[in-house]
Amino acid sequence: MRRLIYFALPIALFILPYVFFAFFDGAPFYFAKESGAVENITAVILALSLLLTVSMFLQYRAKTKLLKRASNSPIPFRDFTLSWFVVYALGCVYFLGEEISWGQHLFDWSTPDVWLVVNDQQETNLHNTSALLDQVPRFLLTFGIVIGGLIYPLLVKNQKSSESDLSSLFSLIMPSVHCVPAASTVLLITVHDKIYSLLKIDMPDFLQINDGEVKESLIAMFILVYIYDFYQRLKSNKHL
């Protein structure tokens, strides 16, 4: 199960669009359009991430209450971890809500006139109203994933963490080496596009995927891998 989530699913999600573009007629339209396969996969992954985060929060909160009653004192780092679950869940809700246009893709309602004016895809979401709410968050997420999910785990994988509460909590919050495959796909999905642009040569047809939509699905996959790994490490970390 762990190998499936840590490695197989991120790699499969990275490779499948290229396979479809290379071998199946009509795949470019199927993957490029709004509400196509990639966007639906992204929504499912985010929904799973949200469900897992909420489930973890409820389990951890129940255990924290029992420990507080037993010790009759606050437990700051457990409280911080609970807050981290809340922040993470809210991030999943926002990402998922924007991905399905807050239900429009599911229930197919008409876009209000006020959104038709400001939204360049005539949907009820925020990220298509300006670059500040679209490209900027995507860049920041990508940057954070590359630094925190790829570079950081590789730098510290052979280092032993300190026994202090603060160090243990920081090590727990930061992505582990298990997140590296998922983080790598987020970085690599646009590399070929940049290489062909720099070389100023035509890109083969099977590489001309809608890498923006695919990249969002890979970011969602990293979000799922991270919270699953966080859950596994939390279970095994008796200190917290």
Residue 125 — φ and ψ, nearest 5°?
-140, 170
State how far the Cα of 47 lies from the Cα of 26, in Å rounded to an integer.
Answer: 28
Predicted local confidence at residue 83, as pLDDT: 94
pLDDT of residue 167: 61
Q: How confident is the prediction for the chain on average, in pLDDT?
A: 86
The answer to whether residue 37 sits within a structural domain is: yes
Q: Is residue 119 part of a domain?
A: no
Please report whether residue 230 resides in a domain. yes
In this structure, which long-range contacts are made by residues 38-41, counting pairs with CB atoms below 8 Å and at least 24 apart in sequence? 38/210, 38/213, 38/214, 38/216, 38/217, 39/99, 39/105, 39/213, 39/216, 39/217, 41/13, 41/217
Domain count, the chain: 1
- Residue-wise pLDDT for 3-62, tens only, equals 999 999 999 999 988 888 878 776 766 676 666 788 899 999 999 999 999 999 999 999
Residue 129 lies in a domain: no
Mean pLDDT of all residues in 151-176? 77
Per-residue pLDDT reduced to its tens digit, 200-218: 777 776 677 767 888 999 9
179 burial via Cβ count (<10 Å: 0-12, 13-18, 19+): buried
120 occurs within a structural domain: no
22 in a structural domain? yes
What's residue 29's pLDDT? Answer: 67
Task: Please write the tens of the pLDDT for every residue from 86-138.
Answer: 999 999 999 999 999 998 878 888 888 888 888 988 899 998 898 888 889 99
pLDDT confidence of residue 210: 66
Give tens-digit pLDDT for 186-200: 999 988 777 777 777
Q: What is the residue range of 160's domain?
A: 2-99+134-236
Confidence band, pLDDT 50/70/90 cuts, at residue 238: low
Q: Is 125 domain-assigned?
A: no
Name the pTM for this structure.
Answer: 0.91
Dihedral Cα 155, 48, 2, 186, nearest 10 deg: -40
Over residues 63-93, the pLDDT tens digits come to: 999 888 888 777 778 889 999 999 999 999 9
- Is residue 38 a part of any domain in this protein? yes
| pLDDT at residue 47, rounded to an integer | 98
Residue type, 123: E
DSSP for 52-117? Answer: HHHHHHHHHHHHHHHHHHHHTS--HHHHHHHHHHHHHHHHHHHHHHHHTGGGHHHH-PPPPHHHHH
pLDDT for residue 231 is more than 80? yes
